[in-house]
Amino acid sequence: MSENVSYYSRRNNRYPVRRTIYMQTVGRLLPRRVSQILKELGFKVWINPSQGNNIDLKVWNDDNLIIVGEILNWSIGSKLAEKRLNKMISNLNNFDCRKLLVYTTLDQASVSKFIQNGIDVLEIGFQLLPKSYYDFFSARRQIERREIDSATTKNEIKENLSSYLERSIFCI
């Protein structure tokens, strides 16, 4: 484990680093991995560099915007506030193409609300973490539905994305 992680693990039982750094790092990881995979599949992709209050992902096939998306790389027990859920739905519905929520874990009521608003959902099923963060949670026996960012998890996510694209957009 890195010195930075072990220093904060002694001071804070909840996160391996300061909470803000943890949220930024984990929040960027899955969108970057999804973007990388979509680019490998031949799409032009934009991800929101600021993780601001706008959509996280835009995907083009040739010059046609085909998907806009929100991506949540959360752990079990995370709750999506109603205000944020409504803002995400509103942001996605500003576009005239497929709308997609890619998420790791989320309560069924929130998932249902996205679906009811015409937004496709794609569950990854695990929070994607850097190895040092995973090691921190592993030492605390808190690895349920958490995985290390690796070639294996990248392939799992790629299979999920490919299957989604085949079902909803076209055969690739």
For residue 50, the model assigns a pLDDT of 77
Q: Report the domain count for the chain.
A: 1
Q: Is there a domain that residue 6 lies in?
A: no
Q: Is there a domain that residue 79 lies in?
A: yes
Tell me the whole-structure pTM to 2 decimals. Answer: 0.89
For residue 3, the model assigns a pLDDT of 47
Confirm if 168 and 59 have CB atoms less than 8 A apart. Answer: no
Domain that holds residue 76: 28-131+142-168
User: pLDDT tens digits for 104-136?
Assistant: 999 999 999 999 999 999 999 999 999 999 999
**Mean per-residue pLDDT, 139-144:** 95
Q: Is there a domain that residue 62 lies in?
A: yes
The domain spanning residue 106 has which CATH number? 3.40.1350
Confirm if 153 and 126 have CB atoms less than 8 A apart. Answer: yes
Q: Which two tokens stand for residue 150?
A: 């690796």
User: pLDDT tens digits for 23-43?
Assistant: 999 999 999 999 999 999 999
Q: What torsion, rounded to 10 degrees, do the Cα atoms 41, 154, 55, 105 define?
A: 140
Q: Is there a domain that residue 61 lies in?
A: yes
Q: What span, in angstroms and rounded, lies between the C-alpha atoms of 98 and 110?
A: 19
Q: What span, in angstroms and rounded, lies between the C-alpha atoms of 157 and 151?
A: 10
